[in-house]
């Protein structure tokens, strides 16, 4: 072991709560795609910040992470 490193055991399976959250997000994404919405996520290379765009057919618009979480809720 390297100096300062700690041992970490990776579980055999993710926690059930995490799986439930992933299922909920997948359901929300399916609903977006069903109404022909396109979601684009990318990193801004200059600022390192996350850029999120939502296109629902009238052109892409930027949305905040909070708005994205609202869509996925």
Angle at 73 between CA 54 and CA 59, to 5 degrees: 10
What is residue 3's predicted lDDT score, i.e. its pLDDT?
Answer: 61
Is the model's pTM score more than 0.85?
A: no
- Tens-digit pLDDT string for the chain (73 aa): 456 667 888 889 999 999 999 999 889 889 888 888 898 999 999 999 999 999 988 899 999 999 988 887 7
What is residue 2's predicted lDDT score, i.e. its pLDDT?
Answer: 58
List alpha helices for the chain, DSSP H. 16-34, 65-72
Q: Domain extents for the chain?
A: 36-73
CB atoms closer than 10 angstroms to residue 53: 14
What is residue 19's predicted lDDT score, i.e. its pLDDT?
Answer: 94
- Nearest residue to 60 (alpha-carbon basis) of 27, 29, 36: 36
């Amino acid at each position: 072991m390297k100096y300062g490193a700690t041992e970490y055991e990776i579980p055999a399976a993710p926690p059930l709560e995490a799986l439930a959250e992933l299922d909920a997000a997948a359901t929300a994404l399916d609903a977006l795609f069903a109404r022909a919405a396109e979601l684009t996520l990318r990193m801004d290379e200059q600022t390192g910040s996350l850029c999120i765009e939502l296109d629902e057919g009238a052109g892409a618009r930027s949305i905040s992470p909070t708005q994205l979480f609202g869509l996925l809720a």
